[in-house]
Structure 1
Amino acid sequence: MPSSADYRDTHRELVLGCQRKDRNAQRALYGHYAKPMYNLCLRMLRHSHDAEDVLQVAFVDIFGKIETFNFDASISAWIKRIVINRCIDHLKKRRLLTTDLDTNRHDAAAEEDTAPALGAQELSVEKIKNATMKLSEGYRVVLSLYLFEGYDHEEIAQILGISVGTSKSQYSRARKRLAALLTDNN
C-alpha cells in the first residue's frame, strides 16, 4: 500500500506534468478526480446532464489555471473549490438559489434546530441519495456544502452570497425535509 508521501509525490508529479501541458498527466489527473467531482456536481445540481456539463467546464478551468496552483493546499481541495464554484455559477445562472429576503426570520429560525433525529432506521446510501435529490435546489446546495463537503455556515454564506442565518436556516429546513422524506420512504 502506498504511503501518503508516495501519494503526495505522485500528485505533485501529475500537477507538474499538467503545468507543462503534458496530455498524459492531464488524462491521469482527470481520471483520478472526474468521478468524485461528478458526484459532487450531481449532489449540487440534481440532473446528470447538468453535472456532466459543469464537470467539463470545471476541468477546462482547472487545466487553464493549473499553472497558478502553487502547492500551498492539496490539489484535491483546489480542484473541489473550482468544481463547487462552477456548480454555484450554474445555479446562479438558473436563478434557483435562495435569496435572503428576511434576515431576522432566518436568524431566528436558525437558532432552533428541531430537525427530527433519524434514529436507528435502516437507511441505505441509495435511499439517502434519492431523498436528497428530492430537496429543493437551495436546501440541497446548503445541505451538500455543509454536510458532505464540510464547509461551515460562514463559508457557505460567502460562497452563495447569503447571510449566515440564511445558511443555517436552509440547512435546518433541509434536514427536516430530508428526515421527512426518509421517514415517508420506509
Structure 2
Amino acid sequence: MEQTLYLDRHYSLVEACKRGDRKAQYELYRLYSKSMFNVCMRILNHMGEAEDVLQEAFLDAFQKIHDFRQTSTFGAWLKQIVVNRAINQLRQRKVQWVEVEEAEYVGEEALLQDETEWEVERVRAAIQRLPDGFRTVLSLYLLEGYDHEEIAEVLGISESTSRTQYMRAKRKLVEMLST
C-alpha cells in the first residue's frame, strides 16, 4: 500500500531539528505551543498539569523527531503526542469511566435540536466544570475531531462508553447552561 507524504510548511524546521538545531526547536515550540497548550487544557482542565504535559510532549517530540515520517503534518503528529500525554496524565488521576450497556445509548441528535446561542466564555466555563471523563470525551470528539472508535482506542474504553460519556456530557452541559 502506498503512503501519502505531506509537504509540511514547517518541513525545513523539522529537518533542522533532526540535525539537532536548537533554534529550529525553539521556533517549532513558538509556532505550536499555544495551540497545543489549549489541547492540554481542554483535556486536563488544570493549568499546572497542562503546562507540565505540554513541556513533556515537546521533549518527547524533539527526542523522537527522527521517527516523524511525513505521513501527516508535523502539527498533527505533535498533537497526537500531546493528546496521548494528556490522557496519560488524566489516567493518573484514576478517572472512573462509567461502563454502560449499548441499550442505554440514546440518539445524540435529539439532545441539542434547539440550538440556542450561548456566549463562548459561558460554554467554555461550563465545559471546564464537567467531570474529567465527560470533558475528555466531549473535547476529543467536538474540539479535536476524533470519532468514537478513536476515542475508545486512545482512552482504553469501549466505543459505547465513549458514545455514552459524550451523550451524558452534552446533557450535563445543556443542564448547566440552562440554569
TM-score, normalization: structure 2? 0.91
2:139 is matched with 144
| 3-state DSSP of counterpart to 1:138 | helix
Counterpart of 1:177, as a letter, is K
Within a 5 Å distance, the mapping from 1:72-111 to structure 2 comes to: 72-100=71-99, 102=100, 104=101, 107-111=102-106
Secondary structure, counterpart of 2:64 in structure 1: helix
Q: Tell me which residue corresponds to 1:158.
A: 153
Corresponding position of 1:135: 130
The separation in 2 between residues aligned to 1:118 and 1:111, in whole angstroms, is 17
Aligned residues: 172
Measured against aligned partners, the alpha-carbon deviations of 1:112-167 in whole angstroms (never above 9, x if no partner) come to 3342445233x222111101001000000000000000010000000001000000
Residue 23 (structure 2) aligns with:
24
Q: What secondary structure is seen at the aligned counterpart in 2 of 1:30? A: helix
Give me the whole-angstrom Cα distance separating, in 2, the residues matched to 1:139 and 1:172.
9
Deviation at 1:39, TM superposition (A): 0.5
Q: Is the 8 A contact 2:8 2:73 kept in 1?
A: no
Residues in 1 aligned to 2:42 and 2:48: alpha-carbon distance in whole angstroms: 12
**Match in the other structure for 1:176:** 171
CA contact (8 A) 2:8 2:74 kept: no
Q: Distance in 1 between matches of 2:43 and 2:148?
A: 16
**Structure 2 CA distance, aligned partners of 1:134 and 1:140?**
8
Please give the per-residue CA displacement for 1:82-129, whole angstroms capped at 9, x wherever unaligned: 0000011101111115153x4x2xx122243342445233x2221111
Cα distance in 2, alignment partners of residues 174 and 30 from structure 1: 32
Tell me which amino acid in the other structure corresponds to 2:134. Answer: Y
Cα distance in 2 between the residues matched to 1:111 and 1:99: 16
What does residue 55 of structure 1 align with?
54
Task: Say what the alpha-carbon RMSD is for the aligned residues.
Answer: 1.4
Larger helix percent: 1
Percentage identity across paired residues of the two chains: 45
**Aligned counterparts of 2:93 and 2:50: Cα–Cα separation in 1:** 14
Q: 3-state SS of the aligned residue for 1:34?
A: helix
Q: TM-score, normalised by structure 1?
A: 0.87
Q: Does 1:43 align with 2:42?
A: yes
- Residue 9 to residue 174, structure 1, CA distance change in 2 (3 Å): closer
Instruction: Pick closer, same or farther for the CA change 1:73–1:97 going to 2, 3 Å.
Output: farther
Gaps of 5+ in 1: 1-7
Per the TM alignment, residue 9 of structure 1 is displaced from its structure 2 partner at its CA by: 5.5
In 1, Cα distance between the equivalents of 2:9 and 2:156? 36
